[in-house]
Structure 1
């Protein structure tokens, strides 16, 4: 291991501890809900997102959940599943899903950490930013289905249109 790699490893920490440091540095409200779990809130472009991270020591996997506080009524579930399928085809990391308890929309991503089970600050930042970015990117599509009564393909196409210039 090079000297810079060894120095960098000293900055790594247990996943929940590193996420606490990240949340504190960003001024985000958070709560450690157990030895291996943290929850907090992050303001995105469209909404406030609830973040949850759960550390599974036995697998060295950190599961990150980002919930945009979107509840899906029964009459919209089929369209939302269609939309999630189309959205998930666009993702390289993570996926959207419906939490069965309460029909909450969520973004989920699992980070496999090394044998030491440590998380770097850059890994923590990238994982949280990726989750928030993906929720922001597709939030309008989910709203088009829920509130605009659009079909899945139309909602996704409308949401992915990039506006030219600034308002």
Structure 2
């Protein structure tokens, strides 16, 4: 069972949820342990607050990391949203976007396969959080353009990527 005392400052790595909880605590981000294998937290991105969830599966040393930008996809917009998902996912090297069938929520998901020891370093923890938030920030406008602006998926993606490239 993972430790919850966060007293591993002298180590380079720790049990995945311990390391993530310590990172959240150090940054002043709210988080809570849902169970021994799951935690949740919240981070403000450029466009919205994102709920982050980490789920540890120790049997195969996989940490599933989810970022939910609180975007719901209505039934009438689902076709366009799935078309945009495929265009967005072509742009991604790590992780992918999906629509959660339970609640029609948009989410970013990344599965990290950890080594045989099942430990997570601080650098890995920071990279997981930063990449999830960065990707949600990067594509949030495209989803807004499709879901609320009635743009077609290709236009929405092009506009979002041009806007993101123009930010200082």
Which residue does 2:74 correspond to in 1? 73
Partner of 2:28: 27
Cross-structure match for 2:100: 99
Q: CA deviation at 1:164?
A: 4.3
Match of residue 146 from structure 1: 147
Structure-1 residue corresponding to 2:90: 89
- How many residue pairs were aligned? 158
**Secondary structure at the residue paired with 2:159?**
helix
1:30-54 Cα offsets, whole Å, 9 max, x none, are 0100001110000000000000000
Structure 1 unmatched runs, 5+: 1-8
Aligned twin of 1:43: 44
Q: Over the residues paired in the alignment, what is the CA RMSD in angstroms?
A: 1.3
Residue deviations 1:118-162 (CA, integer Å, cap 9, x gap)? 000000000110000000000000000011001100100010104
**Structure 2: unaligned runs, 5 residues or longer:** 1-9
Secondary structure class of the residue paired with 1:142: helix
Quick check: 1:122 aligned with 2:123?
yes
Following TM superposition, by how much is the alpha carbon of 1:165 offset from its aligned partner in structure 2, in angstroms? 6.8
Cα distance change of structure 1 residues 71 and 120 upon mapping to structure 2, 3 Å threshold: same
The aligned counterpart of 1:4 is: none
Shift of 1:11: 2.0
Partner Cα distance (1:54, 1:104) in 2: 18
* Gap change, CA 1:164 and 1:83, over 3 Å in 2: closer
The whole-number CA distance in structure 1 between the counterparts of 2:115 and 2:152 is 42
Q: CA deviation at 1:10?
A: 3.2
User: Which digits, 9 at most, give the CA deviation of each residue in 1:41-68, with x for residues without a partner?
Assistant: 0000000000000000011000000000
Equivalent in the alignment of 1:3: none
What's 1:6 paired with? none
- Consecutive aligned runs of 4 or more in structure 1 exceeding 6 Å deviation: none
Distance across 2 between alignment mates of 1:81 and 1:14: 35
State TM-score, norm by structure 1: 0.92
